[in-house]
Structure 1
Amino acid sequence: MTRTTTAPVRRGREPGEVFGAGFTMFADMLLIGLLTTLACLPVVTAPAAFAAASGTLRRAAETGTPADLGAFVRRLRAGTTLRTLAAGLLLPIAAVVLLVDAALLRSDLPGAAALAPALVLLALGGAVVALRCTALPEDRRLSPRAGLSRTLDDPRGSALLLAAVILAGLLMWSTPLLLPLLPGPLAFAATVVDLRAPERAVRDD
């Protein structure tokens, strides 16, 4: 029987190394963030781009090997299918619906004050479920049912991811120049949240 081995995860600095493994992961996150932003430019490729980012960061975290451009591109190509492109079409549609609803809420329609918080919660919840879909293991990735199941089964992790989404939104609003880097921390947060509870099984589709 053939035994497969993986590289040990480095916890500290090697002799002569200026920065430790933590800084390497931080640099990987920034690199993956830039690559994900570029891959998201066509919009419809956003699901595949975030899935590739999460898969690359997951591999780096599990094996201790740095993330690289080749690994990201390979996962992006493998994940770009008609199914993921169709899922990407939902993003501009959802954005248009939210903008129209927000415009209506600013009018004098009855119940607008009560519906505004519900609209915000719906947008934040959708972002959390979408990120959890992209961070699932390879065999379940981009499954809406599995992502929703993981969101409900792990409320603490979902709350952490919700905080990451809110923080990213605040950073984008206060410092728009950080926008190209934000996909990296979001993909990293979704990956870490998914890895923090490996004993939780995702329900079958």
Structure 2
Amino acid sequence: MSAARAREPGEIFGPRTTLFADVLSVGVMTAVVSLPLVTVPAALSTACEVVRGTQRDQPATARRYLTVLRGRLRPGDLGAGALALAGAALLIADLALAGAGLPGARWFAVAAGVIGGCAVVTGVRACARPESGTDWRGAVALAARDAVADPGGSALVALALAAAVLCGYMMLPLAFLAPGPLALALTAVDVRHRGAAR
């Protein structure tokens, strides 16, 4: 089918370009909502839910993002954000202590980096699960199971995270767009894994 036939009346670009633009707008909303840091899990989980909604012909727009987010900023969501911040602070402190020249510091830094990387991959996979909207504990348990059962998906998640961080590091304005494509990648990995598990 040609791109011209795939367009709807009045649509300038094809549907894939429209989805990409919508994902970027969701990324900006996610970045803005994530600024307090404690809201990062709820913001990313909301972005994944909005992207997942496109399978059900729901729009991936800023308005839908805010509608879904209203139900996500509960004490459990903020608690998940506080726990993620505490874990990040602990990892940074451990790596700083390892850099102080303590005996065995090199191996400790490697072990802490691997454990921290696994925790981050599991955490963002939990954000992509639909259960994160109501039960963070269950979402994290299922994401940990998925991370082990689907190593290819976990590698894709790690690459998506690295790309998002690298984009934000190289050009700061991209940090406000990167959460959208990251949510798209996380949702795609989750949908692919669920489809393969059936």
Give the deviation of 1:184 after TM superposition: 1.2
Q: Secondary structure at the match of 2:122?
A: helix
Partner of 1:81: 74
Q: 1 CA distance for matches of 2:189 and 2:33?
A: 23
Query: Quick check: 1:36–1:49 contact (8 Å CA) kept in 2?
Result: yes
Give percent identity, aligned residues only: 37
Q: What is the TM-score with the length of structure 1 in the denominator?
A: 0.83
2:62 is the counterpart of 1:69:
yes
Q: Which residue of 2 aligns with 1:49?
A: 43
Unaligned runs of 5+ in 1: 1-10
- 1:3-43 Cα distance to aligned partner (Å, 9 max, x none): xxxxxxxx933366432111111111110111011111222
1:6 maps to which residue?
A: none
Whether the aligned pair in 1 keeps the contact of 2:169 and 2:175 (CA below 8 Å) is no
Structure 2 CA distance, aligned partners of 1:101 and 1:117? 11
The aligned counterpart of 1:197 is 193
Matched residue of 1:43: which SS?
coil
**1:115 Cα deviation from its structure 2 partner:** 2.1
Aligned to 2:171: 175
Q: Spell out, residue by residue over 1:160-180, the C-alpha distance to the aligned partner (whole angstroms, 9 max, x if none).
A: 111111222222332233211
Q: Secondary structure at the match of 2:17?
A: helix
Q: 1:141 and 1:58 mapped to 2: Cα distance? A: 18
Q: Distance in 1 between matches of 2:48 and 2:135?
A: 10
Contact 1:43 1:88 in 2 (8 A): yes
Does structure 1 residue 39 correspond to structure 2 residue 29?
A: no
User: How far did 1:156 drift?
Assistant: 1.3
Judged with a 3 Å threshold, the aligned counterparts in structure 2 of structure 1 residues 118 and 12 are, in CA distance, closer, same or farther, namely farther
TM-score by length of 2: 0.86
Q: Distance in 2 between matches of 1:173 and 1:69?
A: 25
**Deviations 1:71-98 (Å, cap 9, x if unpaired)?**
1112111112111111111132122212
SS at match of 1:114: helix
Does the CA-based 8 Å contact 1:124-1:165 persist in structure 2? no
Could you say if the C-alpha distance between residues 85 and 140 of structure 1 is closer, same or farther in structure 2, counting changes exceeding 3 Å?
closer
Q: 3-state DSSP class of the match of 1:110?
A: coil
Q: Which moved more, 1:189-198 or 1:114-123?
A: 114-123
From the superposition, tell whether residues 73 and 17 of structure 1 become closer, same or farther in structure 2 (CA, over 3 Å).
closer
- Give secondary structure in 1 for the equivalent of 2:195: coil
Q: How does 1:54-203 map to 2 (within 5 A)?
A: 54-60=48-54, 62-138=55-131, 142=136, 143-199=139-195
Change (3 A) 1:129 1:37: same
Quick one: which amino acid aligns to residue 164 of structure 2?
Answer: A
**Bigger proportion of residues as helix:** 2
| Structure 2: gaps (5+ residues) | none
* Comparing 116-125 and 154-163, the one that deviates more: 116-125
| Number of residue pairs matched by the alignment | 191
Match of 1:22 in 2: 16
